[in-house]
Amino acid sequence: MSSWDAVYSDRLMTIWEPHDIVVQFVARFLKKRQGYENYLIHRDAQRILDLGCGNGAQSIFLARMGYEVHGIDVSEEAINVAREYANQEALSIEFSTEGCDELSFQSNFFDAVICHGVLDHIPMEKAILSAQEAYRVLRPGGLLLVSLASVRSSLFGEGSSAGRNTYVLEDGPEKGEIQHYFDEEEIRMLLPSSQFHFIDARHKLEEELTGSTDLVPEVTKGRWVLTAEICKEE
């Protein structure tokens, strides 16, 4: 049983809407809606992997956009919720319980892989293995979307230290889980330029303001949003 099962069993982490990072990725790099049934196609992509899919919000969005979607997560509880969600929406999505560092798919199987808020919740060594697995299952020229917590976040340092830029969260729905905050050096380790060519790299700061009329930032969440094209031979 995964420790994440407890996180999802009480539905505190249940997310029903796709994150704007994923929506923008599809619109900018895959296809953009230009009417009720019309799309501007940027890339010929058909099969997408949602790596660390949780309860399936991103997978549902991608399936609605017409893609063949596979979603994997280490939490069996999350996968059960995702399957129920997809069934209610009458969508065909292949969900499975497995870790992101040892994927069951054949090489060059996917046109795109999305990995939103996943690799920053596992040890760095496992994150690197997971990135290599994403590289393996992506076809040449395929796209990888990764979002990662940043050391520039005001939350950096909260919790008990568990290694370089890594903390164990002590409260909230993810209590007891790892939170790693990435810097530029670690991103280069995670996604080496010989394998991943960045076509878009952003650092987003999201401020949560106090409820007072002063509108003073109470928390600033920093996040890397990286889109890379896979570099390998056909």
Mean pLDDT (whole number) for 47-69:
96
Q: Could you give the percent of the chain with pLDDT greater than 90?
A: 67
The residue length of the chain stands at 234
Q: Please state at what angle helix 76-88 crosses helix 57-64, rounded to 10 degrees.
A: 30
Does residue 137 carry a pLDDT above 80? yes
**pLDDT for residue 50 is more than 70:** yes
Could you say which architecture CATH assigns to the domain 4-230?
Answer: 3-Layer(aba) Sandwich (3.40)
Give me 52's structure tokens: 């660390």
In this model, does residue 5 exceed pLDDT 90? no
Q: What is the pLDDT of residue 175?
A: 75
What pTM value is reported for the model? 0.89
Pick the residue with more confidence: 103 or 222? Answer: 103
Q: How far apart are CA 69 and CA 92, in angstroms?
A: 8
The pLDDT value given to residue 62: 98
Quickly state the pLDDT bin for 6 (edges 50, 70, 90).
low
Measured CA to CA, the distance from residue 114 to residue 213 in angstroms comes to 38
Residue 1 has pLDDT above 50, yes or no: no
The string of pLDDT tens digits covering residues 11-46 is 555 677 899 999 999 999 999 888 877 888 899 999
Q: Tens digit of pLDDT for each residue in 158-211?
A: 878 878 998 988 777 677 788 999 999 999 999 999 999 999 999 988 877 655
In sequence order, the 6+-apart residues with CB closer than 8 A to the CB of 42 are 28, 29, 30, 31, 32
Each domain of the chain, given as residue ranges in start order, spans 4-230
Tell me the pairing of strands 217-230 and 68-73.
Answer: unpaired
